[in-house]
Chains A and B, each alone.
Chain A
Amino acid sequence: MNDVLKVFARPQFPHAVLVHVELSALALLIAVAIALPVALAVNRSSLGTAVAVNIGNIGRAVPSLALLALALPFLGFGFAPSLVALIALAIPPILINATTGLREVSKEVIDAARGMGLSGWQILRGIQLPIAAPVIFAGIRTSAVQVVASATLATFIGGGGLGDLIVEGFQKGDTPVLLAGALAVAFLAIITELLFGGLERAFTPAGLKVAQKRQKAR
């Protein structure tokens, strides 16, 4: 155990954590910036929604390691190709949840809103987005945890991060180093889960929480 702590004390350790967090956060941010506008854009068309959901599902089926391997021949080694691969990994859950979440806002609610004279933009911003918020944030949370875990693999194409420690420990047969890397990744993933779970709750409108509670009580 002491040896593991010694690894944490290494001068390179904070850097590895930083790269890992940076890689994950950036990938997630860019994925949100891509997936959300797409979801909003296809919102009014059932064909667009179907296409987006299917692309999302196909994207989801591709394993993370395969994505990284795919990035290698086209983009080479380093941080940037790892980032691209992680973005590709992060988009599907966000895209699927955002499109279906917006779609599932009941037709009657939208009809009532239109009938009272809300504009398309007002319906989207004031009605659809708040009602879909919990579903959208659940998608972002899934993506975030997945990205943090998968960023470990970036080491294989020279992306850095905590994966470096695991590979180093593995190659040298150095269990404390291996463990330190694995523990740190697990810890980061848990923190991410908690953080985004909190965000999800924070962005769930009070009225929907009341509705959820009542549904459970039934």
Chain B
Amino acid sequence: MIEFKEVSKIYPGAQTPAVKDLSFEILEGEICVLVGPSGCGKTTSMRMINRLIEPSSGEILIDGEPNTKMSGTALRRKIGYAIQQIGLFPHRTIARNIATVPQLLGWDRERIRRRVDELLELVGMNPADFRDRYPSELSGGQQQRVGVARAMAADPPIMLMDEPFGAVDPITRERLQDEFLRIQENIKKTIVFVTHDIDEAVKMGDKIAILEQGGILAQFDSPENILTHPNSEFVASFVGADRVLKRLSLLRVADMRLDPADGADDLPTIDERLTVRDALSQIVGVGATGGIVERDGERQLLTIKAIEGLLKDSGSARG
């Protein structure tokens, strides 16, 4: 668990604070997304957790202990770190890049070798093909995968990720996000994830902290609650006029309770793995009022009415 207690940061020479009186808690095993416009202090906040930046006042507790209890380097070896520009070491092989922290921690060779291969497989890269390659030989998406694998190398309970999927095209980004969420289901790390993209925040976060200019916490809540009950003008405009649709992208068709379809052969077929938002788009796109979902050999009916019903029921489960 990570706890911010009235943390402020004023950079030397700056008139206004970069982060102001920030207090909130990140629970164990959750992804907490820090999101906001540029200059809102989200990266500064993240970098204060592993003390790449020291706060001007306040403190950050990790599992109840101030993070100043050990040296900065010792602390950072226990916290995974991945950044948008990836920062792979160009002169080292992929294997040695991933092995950075385990080597610092003095793991033996065999253990490091096994861990590197395990991680490459985890991020969907064949170890035999990639372990001896150099970063410049990899595509952007592959480099980001290695960056994430490197951050996970020593199996740290906490990971800090600053726009880790920022430097790739939208399609690759979506795939990396999905893969990462799948991995997270098994590893259950406590993750602090920085992004400027509200869609990414909604998709990745168990909790979202929206920061506004001057490093003020505007709202801290679950994605559903932020989308249904933005607590200020700023949050409402930041999440966007399409926040209703964004809520639908949190839900999958598979999670909806549907009635059997009788007849209605002219309706489009909807894949139940789709998000409700994508399903709605498909239905509206062909000018229909509903679609057919094939589930367990049964034909079920998904209507626009049912989707509207979802939006009234704010306590709906996540997909």
Contacts and interface: CB of A to CB of B under 8 A. Distances in A.
A115 B83 contact: yes
Q: Which of A114, A206, A207: most chain B Cβ within 10 A?
A: A207
A116 B77 contact: yes
A65 interface: no
Q: Which of B50, B77, B83, B134: most chain A Cβ within 10 A?
A: B134
A211 B136 contact: yes
Interface stretch (A2-10, A22-30, A105-113): A105-113
Interface in A191-207: 205-207
Interface in B117-149: 134-137, 147
A217 to B, nearest CB: 11
Contacts of B135: 207, 211
Contact of A116 (B81, B90, B136): B81
A131 interface: yes
Contacts of A211: 90, 134-136
B76 A214 contact: no
A130 B89 CA distance: 10
Contacts, number: 85
Nearest to B96: A207
A8 to B, nearest CB: 44
A86 to B, nearest CB: 33
Interface residues of B, number: 31
Q: Which of B52, B87, B151: most chain A Cβ within 10 A?
A: B87
Contact of A115 (B76, B78, B91, B134): B76
A109 B90 CA distance: 8
Interface in A110-135: 110-119, 122, 127, 130-131
A208 interface: yes
B67 to A, nearest CB: 13
B104 A116 contact: yes
Given A108-B83, A205-B91, A208-B90, A114 B52 contact: yes
Contacts of A210: 134, 136-137
B280 interface: no
Contact of B136 (A108, A122, A214): A214
B73 A119 contact: yes
B136 A207 contact: yes
Contacts of A118: 73, 100, 104
Contacts of A108: 83, 85-87
B54 to A, nearest CB: 13
B101 interface: yes
Interface of B: 50, 52, 72-78, 81, 83, 85-93, 100-101, 104, 134-137, 147, 150-151, 160
5 contacts: A115-B160, A118-B104, A205-B92, A207-B90, A210-B137
Interface of A: 106, 108-119, 122, 127, 130-131, 205-208, 210-211, 214-215
